[in-house]
Amino acid sequence: MINILFAASEAVPFMKTGGLADVAGTLPEHFNRKEWDVRVMMPLYACMDQELRKKLKLKGHFYVDLGWRKQYAGIYETKWRGVTYYLIDNEFYFGGDKPYNLIHEDIEKFSFFSKAVLESILYLDWRPELIHCHDWQTALVPVYLCSLYKSYPEMSKIKTVFTIHNLKFQGRWTLKGLKDSTGLPATLFTPEYLEFYGEGNCLKGGLVFSDFVTTVSPTYAKEITTPEGGEGLDGLLKAKGDRLRGIVNGVDEEFDPAKDPYLSIHYSKKNVFEGKKKNKIALQKKRGLPERDNVFTMGMVGRITDQKGFDLIAYILEEMLSTKDLQLYVLGSGEYRFEEMLTYFAGKYPERFSVHIGYEEQLAREIYAGCDAFLMPSLFEPCGLSQLISMRYGTVPIVRETGGLIDTVKPYNEYEDTGTGFSFSNYNAHEMYGAINYAMATYIEHQDRWQRIALRGMEEDFSWTRSARAYEELYQNLI
């Protein structure tokens, strides 16, 4: 049995603010449990669901030296779907009504957590052969391991994997502030290690000191080695060479139109088009749009920001909504300027456009099931989840060719009758509109082709089991 410890700032079901939580909380249960014992360690936040807190069992406590401070760390244990979770308790760091705060507070908070991960290994009667760290919040684990803990016999053979979920977030703060928060030796705050253009950079430390770096899609792994996508770290990432790899995330089994608890009308590959027509009518009825089963419906679910392509939407929306054969459904929240724009156009075109500012899981599932197409014109997308979910529901994705969207959506080729979606290359509003029009024309004029595209998408394997097999191979090679 090989022991693996996931270290992450969040994991479902205990805490979720983004896709990191899905990876850290779902991937571990899909490893071959006859060969791998994968456990998860995360902070115990005061804002965690109280019903989940009741299931935690106190294992004990220890203290963490953090520079000039010695801090209490309680350690709790529980099981979820057969996976053991350890939660590190400290009310000073993990109190409050949200998991993340101002960056200088978070730097010290996650410096404490990273060191507590290693201290817990000295305390527990279970020790990992490898620690898999996720994003900048746990990037200091490999740094501590290779500096302050390198002389510990219990630690000397532990390998580390560091996964970048979004390179834009790096845990940057002043050099003086990072030195004080971490208690690391001054010799590490140089351009070779933690210094980054005059600042301290936690994520850079994880890249330098980890044994292997992964990210969430093969194309994103290539993009971050370029000046355009590397966020200033492209040289370091390029130097990792064959120690950098992209592995696509999976989709949880709960996203299944045949048994989705949020849907009143279920369907599978056997009756997908009858089922989707009924869900389309139900969505139109719920959102107050004309009930037409032959209109082309397109959905968007997620953050309403530049990164998700809403500046392109803003440029082309009036022209798009002038099309009588189109209905657009948007669900999400984000930048105020985009929310105001969408609200205005929903009022101007009430028969063609529905927007819900905020988030409702049931409405999200109804959009996935009731729409014909799903639009994701992202500026960048490390992996992406919505395009994977949409294909599960027989909803054809229209995406920009970036990051994980390239790796998961195969462009439609009408001459060979292949592909699982539609795509465009340049970050350009009219190029996006061209892809939308091509998809709409295919839907209206060639229903048989459209149905084959949708079915091919439903047949794609984006399970967590597939991702787990790739990580098992990587771990095995490292260990």
What is the tens place of the pLDDT at every residue in 322-332?
988 999 999 99
pLDDT at 323: 83
pLDDT at 18: 83
**Residue 240 maps to a domain:** yes
pLDDT value at 24 more than 90: yes
pLDDT at 423: 98
pLDDT at 333: 93
**Residue 50 maps to a domain:** yes
Q: pLDDT confidence of 287, banded at 50, 70, 90?
A: very high
User: Average per-residue pLDDT in the chain?
Assistant: 96
pLDDT in tens, 359-386: 999 999 999 999 999 999 999 999 999 9
For the chain, what percent of residues have pLDDT higher than 90?
95
Query: What is the distance between the alpha carbons of residues 276 and 388, in angstroms, rounded to a whole number?
Result: 17
Considering the domain architecture, whether residues 36 and 137 belong to the same structural domain is answered as yes
Strands 373-376 and 296-301: parallel
The residue length of the chain stands at 479
pLDDT in tens, 188-221: 999 999 999 999 999 999 999 999 999 999 999 9
Cβ atoms 40, 6 nearer than 8 A: yes
- Domain containing 419 equals 269-459
Considering the domain architecture, whether residues 445 and 468 belong to the same structural domain is answered as no
CB atoms within 10 A of CB 272: 20
pLDDT in tens, 96-136: 899 999 998 999 999 999 999 999 999 999 999 999 999 99
Q: What CATH number is associated with residue 194?
A: 3.40.50.2000
Strands 199-201 and 195-196: antiparallel
**Residue 295 maps to a domain:** yes
pLDDT in tens, 396-455: 999 999 999 999 999 999 999 999 999 999 999 999 999 999 999 999 999 999 999 999
Q: How wide is the angle at C-alpha 170 spanned by C-alphas 124 and 377, nearest 5°?
A: 115
Give the gyration radius of the chain's Cα atoms: 23
Considering the domain architecture, whether residues 446 and 401 belong to the same structural domain is answered as yes
Considering the domain architecture, whether residues 25 and 73 belong to the same structural domain is answered as yes
| Range of weakest confidence among 17-21, 71-75, 225-229, 329-333 | 17-21
pLDDT at 156: 87
CB atoms within 10 A of CB 361: 10
**Residue 264 maps to a domain:** no
Q: How would you class 125 by CB atoms within 10 Å of its CB: exposed for 0-12, middle for 13-18, buried for 19 or more?
A: exposed
Q: pLDDT confidence of 154, banded at 50, 70, 90?
A: confident
Considering the domain architecture, whether residues 150 and 76 belong to the same structural domain is answered as yes
Considering the domain architecture, whether residues 11 and 55 belong to the same structural domain is answered as yes
Query: What is the distance between the alpha carbons of residues 155 and 146, in angstroms, rounded to a whole number?
Result: 9
For residue 347, give the amino acid letter.
G
**Residue 259 maps to a domain:** no
Considering the domain architecture, whether residues 221 and 298 belong to the same structural domain is answered as no
pLDDT at 19: 84
**Residue 451 maps to a domain:** yes
Sign of the Cα pseudo-torsion (189, 194, 199, 200, in order): negative
pLDDT value at 52 more than 90: yes
Considering the domain architecture, whether residues 218 and 366 belong to the same structural domain is answered as no
**Residue 262 maps to a domain:** no
Considering the domain architecture, whether residues 244 and 283 belong to the same structural domain is answered as no
Considering the domain architecture, whether residues 305 and 355 belong to the same structural domain is answered as yes
**Residue 448 maps to a domain:** yes
Considering the domain architecture, whether residues 442 and 474 belong to the same structural domain is answered as no
pLDDT at 290: 96
**Is-above-0.75 flag for pTM?**
yes
pLDDT at 195: 96
User: How many domains does the chain divide into?
Assistant: 2
pLDDT value at 256 more than 90: yes
Q: pLDDT confidence of 68, banded at 50, 70, 90?
A: confident
Q: pLDDT confidence of 67, banded at 50, 70, 90?
A: confident
Provide mean pLDDT across the span 73-90.
97
**Alpha carbon 99 to its chain's center:** 17
pLDDT at 69: 86
384: left (phi over 0), alpha (psi -120 to 50) or beta: left
Burial string for 154-192 (b: 16+ CB within 10 Å, else e) reads ebeebbbbbbbbbbebbbbbebeebbbbbbbeeebbeee
Considering the domain architecture, whether residues 242 and 104 belong to the same structural domain is answered as yes
pLDDT in tens, 25-41: 999 999 999 999 999 99
pLDDT in tens, 289-312: 999 989 999 999 999 999 999 999
The candidate with the shortest Cα–Cα distance to 215, out of 235, 240, 232, 190, is: 240
pLDDT at 55: 94
pLDDT value at 393 more than 90: yes
